[in-house]
Structures are given as structure tokens and as C-alpha cells.
Structure 1
């Protein structure tokens, strides 16, 4: 009689170990901000501002889970390049303020870089803000060669479109720099090459037409560095 019990326990333990982490389903609305944060999650950053052009103070949050779990994260093409990492999951969340209630407008489980994804610089998350009806996110990381990524999303036609972005790649010692500034509304890309220490003195600037087939949204833009906007240029 001991063997069946042993195998049941063994199988049960294996199933628990193999169980994949599931992101919570957030409250669709609440009149209290404290109710919007699910159990075992904490607020890393927050911002208030008008996101849907109704002159109300909407709310954006970056949430982090309380413990590290196994996650499949994207590098390059999200369809074929997944790397399993053990880290604390994060979510980007936005609520529209309608009357006296906050109503869920966005839950993205992929786009926010995790704490281990900044290289030797450590935490890559550098900022969340709402300005001029746009949701802005900033990241930074690297080692000797470092990078800065800035994104602005706007709620248009019931989706969160990427409207501008900025990608700076530089050497912390020499100051050698390439700064690419993308405008997906005017469809332009400005490239600044030179030194991060002498930005307005001897740097060279070139502006080109930005060609892309479809705008990126937060529903299909899985993670920073996964969109090859133009050849060898990633965001």
C-alpha cells in the first residue's frame, strides 16, 4: 500500500514543479487605487495624467511580483528566440479615470524589462510618466557599451500606438555615440553620430524617411529590442 501513495506524491510534486506561472486577471474597475494592485504584487512606479483626451487624471502603474519565477523572454524575433530566465515578472497597467472610478485600459505582461535585464548597470527601468496624453517609458543598461531606450505610446483608435522612440548607444569611457530618434507619426528617423560628451558641438546629424509597414502597438510589441525597424536598427 505504500508504493501507490509514494507514486501519487511523486507525480503531484512533479506537476507542481512544472506548473507555469500565470499572470493575474486585474480588476476591471474600482474607486480605490489600493484595490488595483493584486495580492503578491507591488508598485515599482506610477504616474498620473490624461491618457484618453478627456481631461481626467488617468493612472499608469508598473507592478512587480514578489518572487522570482521561470519566464520565457524574447530576444530578437519573438516568434523563434525565447530564453528561459528566472526573475520577478512585471506588468504595465493603465486605468482610465471615468467619474469616480478607475477602469482598466491596459494590461501588458511582456514589455517592461525585468530587474536582471540591464546588464552590469543593474535595474534597467528608469522612468514612467504621462505627458501630453502620451505614456512614456525609459530604460537603460549595458556594460562598457551602454544603451538608453525611450518610448512614447498614445491611445489612438482603441489601441496603444508607438508614436516616438529614442535609442542611444554609447561607450561610457570614450563617449562614442549613436543616437537614433524615431518619429512614427511623421515617419522620420534622425541619426546623430559623435560624442555623448559633446552633443551639440561636433556631432553629425542625418535625417531620413522612416519606412515601415505597420505601426507597433503594446499588444504586438512584445519587448524592447525585438523590433527591427530598419535593417540592423532595433528598438
Structure 2
């Protein structure tokens, strides 16, 4: 029997989101600790184990949406805490899964992913926005909502999905920061599939750029079309 480990792994890491790094001055042993409020341990998040949304992130939550997932890390290597925020709605499975046949899902069902960057003055700025990375509520087939969360680490983050019915699948998209352009690009896609009665017969693939796909900017990525028109379905 195959378990779904991602949810509890993400939930365990999510509790680190409020950690502050303490740095003690070496010159004097009794000097007071210096608090660096923008340094933070890398964290992950899961919509199944939600954590409080930081006050500084709340202004980026758009009307009609709710924060499903907030992960923190130094995403661009400047030593400051940044965020990946996923907005959307939590809706029950309707029994009408999105077929991926060109008919777009309900506009209100699209999940918004924001990359929030820390500026030198400590303020947050939106570095990127997309509605085509975190899958929609109906995109998981009979398994329901496939979005499992985000894992953030220095210079990159991964968006996790799991879905299917008798035929199960995973799809995890990793994006990396490009210092030369100040943008994020698709670095790799990890997929897994198996027939639920035979979980020991899994098929897994890791696709990387540029061997398996051309350079794709985060804002140009689409989970339905990233492999191009000639890719096998």
C-alpha cells in the first residue's frame, strides 16, 4: 500500500516559518544577541495543514481568495526572507474533473501563485505572479484537489501535486532563480504514475532543461502545455 508522504512532510516543515536567526557579536562574550528579523529557515507548506499567514503577506491576498499555502526561504540569495504564496478557494469535489482537453476550468477556480521578494528596506514586493502552476480544484480526477503544497529552499521552490483514480500520478514542478535576469525559470519536473492495484510497478521520470524542454519562465509555464505540442499524452 502506497502512502501519500508529502502532506505530513510539508506540514512538519511548515512550523518553522516564524523562526528568527540569532547572531552573537564575537568581540564581546556578554554582548546582547542581534536579531535578524528577515533571516529564516527554509520552510514548506501544505493546504491540508494550514499555518497562520504572516501579517506582512496579507496585503497580497486578493479579494475572493484565501491563502492556501505560504512558504518562506531566501529565494534570491540576498540573505533576506522571501515568500511563495498560493491563493485560491477550498471547494468540495464536484464529480466533474477538468479533462485537460482545452476547455479551461472555471475562472474562479484558478489558483494564483505569487513570489514575494524582500527589498533592502524590508518591504515585500511581488516578484512574479501566475495562475498556471498550482493546479485547480478539479484537476486531480477522482482523487479530488491535487494541490499538495510548496517546498521552498535557497534559490528555488517546488510545487507538489498528486491525483488520479485507479491510475495514480504525481507531478512536482521546480523553479530556480536566475540572478542574471532576476526571474524564475522551470528547472525540473518530476513525475510518477502507477496502477493502484500494483503500486510496486511505478513509472517515474525527471525532466530537466534544456535536455527535455526549452527554457520556460515561471510566468510562461502552464502545467498542461509545458512539454510542448509533440509530447506524448
TM-score, normalised with respect to structure 2 = 0.65
Summarize the alignment of residues 35-46 of structure 1 with structure 2, pairs less than 5 Å apart: 35-46=59-70
Q: Classify 1:38/1:211 alpha carbon distance in 2 versus 1 (closer, same or farther; 3 Å).
A: closer
Q: What is the aligned counterpart of 1:90 among 111, 136, 139?
A: 111
Partner of 1:228: 227
Using the TM superposition, give the Cα deviation of residue 32 of structure 1 relative to its aligned residue in structure 2, in angstroms: 2.4
Please say if residues 116 and 128 of structure 2, whose CA atoms lie closer than 8 Å, have aligned partners that are also in contact.
yes
SS across alignment from 1:54: coil
Gaps of 5+ in 1: 1-30, 76-80, 188-209
Q: Classify 1:173/1:159 alpha carbon distance in 2 versus 1 (closer, same or farther; 3 Å).
A: same
- 1:101 equivalent to 2:100? Answer no
Q: Which has the higher strand share?
A: 1
Q: What is the aligned counterpart of 1:182 among 207, 211, 232?
A: 207
Q: Distance in 1 between matches of 2:139 and 2:115?
A: 23
Partner of 1:3: none
Please say if residues 66 and 88 of structure 1, whose CA atoms lie closer than 8 Å, have aligned partners that are also in contact.
no
Please say if residues 129 and 219 of structure 2, whose CA atoms lie closer than 8 Å, have aligned partners that are also in contact.
no
Please say if residues 42 and 63 of structure 1, whose CA atoms lie closer than 8 Å, have aligned partners that are also in contact.
yes
Using the TM superposition, give the Cα deviation of residue 151 of structure 1 relative to its aligned residue in structure 2, in angstroms: 1.2
Higher Cα radius of gyration: 1
Q: Classify 1:211/1:107 alpha carbon distance in 2 versus 1 (closer, same or farther; 3 Å).
A: closer
Q: Distance in 2 between matches of 1:94 and 1:50?
A: 11
Q: Classify 1:233/1:138 alpha carbon distance in 2 versus 1 (closer, same or farther; 3 Å).
A: farther
Q: Classify 1:225/1:117 alpha carbon distance in 2 versus 1 (closer, same or farther; 3 Å).
A: same
SS across alignment from 2:163: strand
Q: Distance in 2 between matches of 1:233 and 1:218?
A: 22
Please say if residues 47 and 60 of structure 1, whose CA atoms lie closer than 8 Å, have aligned partners that are also in contact.
yes
Q: Classify 1:211/1:110 alpha carbon distance in 2 versus 1 (closer, same or farther; 3 Å).
A: closer
Using the TM superposition, give the Cα deviation of residue 41 of structure 1 relative to its aligned residue in structure 2, in angstroms: 1.5
> 1:159-198: per-residue Cα shift (whole Å, max 9, x none)?
21111220111111112221001232xx5xxxxxxxxxxx
Using the TM superposition, give the Cα deviation of residue 158 of structure 1 relative to its aligned residue in structure 2, in angstroms: 2.5
Q: What is the aligned counterpart of 1:118 among 140, 154, 170?
A: 140
Q: Distance in 2 between matches of 1:123 and 1:67?
A: 8
- 1:136 equivalent to 2:135? Answer no
Gaps of 5+ in 2: 1-54, 93-97
Q: Distance in 1 between matches of 2:147 and 2:212?
A: 29
Please say if residues 151 and 165 of structure 1, whose CA atoms lie closer than 8 Å, have aligned partners that are also in contact.
yes
